[in-house]
Amino acid sequence: MCSGMSVSKIIGSLALWAAASASAQVEATQKVEAAKADLQLRRITLFSSGVGYFERAGTLSGSATVDLQFRTEQINDILKSLVIEDFDGGSVDVVTYSPKDPLERTLQSFGVKLTGKETLAQLLDSLRGQRVRIAGPRQLTGTILGVEKRQVLAGERVVETDLLNILAADGMQQLPLAELQGVQLLDEKTASELNKALAALAATHDTGKKTVSLKFTGDGQRRVRASFLLETPIWKTSYRLVLVPDAKPFIQGWAIVENTTDEDWKDVQLSLVSGRPISFVMDLYTPIYLRRPVEDLELYASLRAPQFEAGIPVDALAKNVAGEFRLGRDASSKDSDGEEAVAVAREVATPAAKSSRRGAGAATAQKQLFLGQESVLLDERGVKSVAEAQEAGELFEYVIETPVSINRQQSAMLPIVNGQISGEKLSIFNPQNHSKHPLNGLKIKNTTELNLMQGPVTIFDGGIYAGDAKLPDLKPGEERLVAYALDLGTDVTVEAKSHQTQIVSLSIDKGTLIRRQKAIDERTYKLRNKQARDKTVLIEQRVTGDWQLLEPAEPFERTDQLMRFKISVPANQMTSQPVRLQRIYGETVVLTDLDLGTITHYISAMGGEVMSDQVREALQKVVSLRTELDRIGRERRGQERQLKEAGEEQERIRKNLQVLQQNTDSYRRQLTKLDTLETQIEELREQVNALRKQEEQQRSALQNYLSNLTIEDK
């Protein structure tokens, strides 16, 4: 094996050359970039689906190229969403970027074959036929014949070493690789190919930025714009809600924005969009190569069976082409097949997208919050909303009115909501939350013109911190309950009363008995208000859709899974609220599977309000037919038992006859019994066959009667 010292010297010289080349390339690139145009970051729209819309704009003179820097993992989003516009008579020429070819395919394109893991011996062996100059104890110039392995004795053990075979002027020479101090390729083209292959390997470890170049063509001063989508953290909201006696609650909302990019946001127009646009990542950066079939010349190829793919009608193909997504320069244009995330971003980011509705200025009354000895004022004169709200298709947008600056890898809080909303204080009792106490809560109605995006709410009541709640997404005019603390001043006990299930009616449908039954759920809520002020309690009871409310007449509210009952509880008093529900449901059972005792019980126990005379007569007929069927079956089974016993007795007598001597009295008696048994067996067989036939006829009569039997309930 070659020594590490020798290999390090050779690889080190290559590394120094690559570093010098890279440095020169960087200097050249910087000089070119200094002459190129630049587009400033002007507008950012952050979506709550994990993407951000970025818009760069500027002015160019004549034809120019703009270089944009992106991280490698961002290139796919750029290729998917980049939109470029050249106004004032110019045009977009071409967009170029460095492809991301698979490493193996890139290495195969060079004259020197590398896989990325060659040893020095393997590399030199692959350079057979190349002229080289060797430095070391033996300096010579020659042509590489190859590298071979040989076992040599080193002390007391045998080791394997690599030998480089060289064809020099004085003949073939063998040089141990461990003694080489340098190898110089004399062919400049081969040396260049080796350097390029090593540079390609080095590029695979490059985690820096990639350049996307935008080329614009035109004359004179022109406005240009480039916009694209990138992955960004979702923007979040948090709220503060102040409860003041005899006044509407005051809400203040903040947007939490994070700049995780590698660039400072300086005086950008920032918009925040709530909604769930569909967004995904697709690998467009990595080249895709398809396997092509290998075809033989017709002279050598045998005839093969053809395979034809399914065709697409011309009309369907034309419709498919016509339905492709088109994005024009007009900011108000929308795709006819739906709201795409890019189209929405373009629409909401235009300067003309303004609305007269505002998130600020909704309240004029001062709402003062006391924290200890200090007071914090939450009103328009405190923190004002800096956002202007507007609709954006199916989405909702907060446009920050003033330019925003956020340094890279920094975060910021921006006020977007500041005003009054409608709200009612109440206690919410649900035994699944707590078995004894309700929760302090609010019934909030979004009386603002804003979409309130979900987020945590810190609630202050009576000048102190009261608890935290979670606000769901609320559209204007939408109502929702929120809870923020346990109401220890109210006790609730639930007394449930059990009821047996009752049969309401009986009917028959083609031999199937249908039992409609009634179940009762009755419980009483007893509420005790231990505080010196009246309270409103909202009781939640989980109810499925097939339960009918009997008492009270109507619930206060109903959801898919709950009924809510609103109860006023005076100060220091108790109040009861009974809740009674019933459920009518049906059960079916085939009359032939029902035992006769149950059918007889229905006939004797069910009154006329449950079972009609027609159903009663039909059940009596079924009992009669099944009774006769059971009688025939019992008689047939009895005859079959006698037949079996007679057969067993016959077999026993035959065995006796085999051991008894003929012409004896015992033999004659057994012979007489055998004759009698044979006659009895024949008679029993005839009787069993007759009973089977009767049983089958009776079963057919029962089935025919049931199959045509349908009687509705009363």
SS3 (DSSP) at 312: coil
User: Contact 2/121 with Cβ under 8 angstroms?
Assistant: yes
Q: How many CA atoms lie within 13 A of 403 on its CB side?
A: 8
Name the residue among 84, 100, 75, 29 with its Cα closest to residue 209.
75
Distance (Å, rounded) from C-alpha 505 to C-alpha 711? 12
Task: Read off the pLDDT of residues 193-250 as tens digits, 9 standing for 90 and up.
Answer: 778 777 766 666 655 678 899 999 999 899 999 999 999 999 999 999 999 888 899 9
Q: b vs e for 231-255, b when ≥16 Cβ sit within 10 Å of the residue's Cβ?
A: ebeebbbebbbbbbeeebbbbbbbb
Task: Read off the pLDDT of residues 38-70 as tens digits, 9 standing for 90 and up.
Answer: 899 999 999 888 899 999 999 999 999 999 988
Q: Which residue has the tokens 């993992």?
A: 73
Q: Are strands 40-47 and 265-274 parallel, antiparallel or unpaired?
A: parallel
Distances (CA, A) of 299 to 113, 118, 296, 302, 303: 35, 43, 8, 8, 11
Distance (Å, rounded) from C-alpha 650 to C-alpha 674? 6
Gyration radius (Cα) of the chain, Å:
46
Distance (Å, rounded) from C-alpha 423 to C-alpha 480? 10
Both tokens of 569, joined, read 């509880």
Bridge partners of residue 468, in order along the sequence? 458
pLDDT for position 97:
84
Question: Residue 469: which pLDDT band, with cuts at 50, 70 and 90?
Answer: very high
User: Contact 145/128 with Cβ under 8 angstroms?
Assistant: yes
Task: Read off the pLDDT of residues 441-456 as tens digits, 9 standing for 90 and up.
Answer: 999 999 988 888 899 9
pLDDT for position 244:
86
User: Contact 471/377 with Cβ under 8 angstroms?
Assistant: no
pLDDT for position 116:
57
**Longest Cα pair distance anywhere in the chain, in angstroms?**
143
Specify which of 160-169, 195-204, 266-275, 491-500 reaches the highest per-range mean pLDDT: 491-500
Q: Indicate if the pLDDT at residue 103 is higher than 90.
A: no
Name the residue among 498, 503, 698 with its Cα closest to residue 602.
503
pLDDT for position 385:
55
Beta-strand ranges (E) seen in 177-295 are: 182-185, 209-217, 221-231, 236-243, 250-259, 265-274
Secondary structure letter of residue 246 according to DSSP? T
Length of the chain: 714
The contacts of residue 542 (CB under 8 Å, 6+ apart) are 432, 561, 562
Distance (Å, rounded) from C-alpha 520 to C-alpha 669? 76
- The domain defined by 601-711 folds into Helix Hairpins (1.10.287)
HEC sequence for 83-115: EEEECCCCEEEEEEECCCCCHHHHHHCCCCCCC
Both tokens of 678, joined, read 């044979």
Question: Residue 394: which pLDDT band, with cuts at 50, 70 and 90?
Answer: low
Distance (Å, rounded) from C-alpha 232 to C-alpha 48? 9
Q: Indicate if the pLDDT at residue 642 is higher than 50.
A: yes
Q: How many CA atoms lie within 13 A of 645 on its CB side?
A: 6
Task: Read off the pLDDT of residues 655-668 as tens digits, 9 standing for 90 and up.
Answer: 988 888 888 888 88
- Give mean pLDDT, residues 522-538: 95
Beta-strand ranges (E) seen in 446-511 are: 455-461, 464-471, 479-486, 490-497, 502-509
- Give mean pLDDT, residues 492-502: 92
pLDDT for position 39:
92
Specify which of 16-25, 163-172, 381-390 reaches the highest per-range mean pLDDT: 163-172
- The domain defined by 490-591 folds into Immunoglobulin-like (2.60.40)
Bridge partners of residue 97, in order along the sequence? 212
Q: Which residue has the tokens 């697409």?
A: 312
**What are the residue boundaries of the structural domains of the chain, listed by start?**
4-34+109-217, 227-287+337-486, 490-591, 601-711
Distance (Å, rounded) from C-alpha 433 to C-alpha 542? 12
Both tokens of 666, joined, read 């015992």
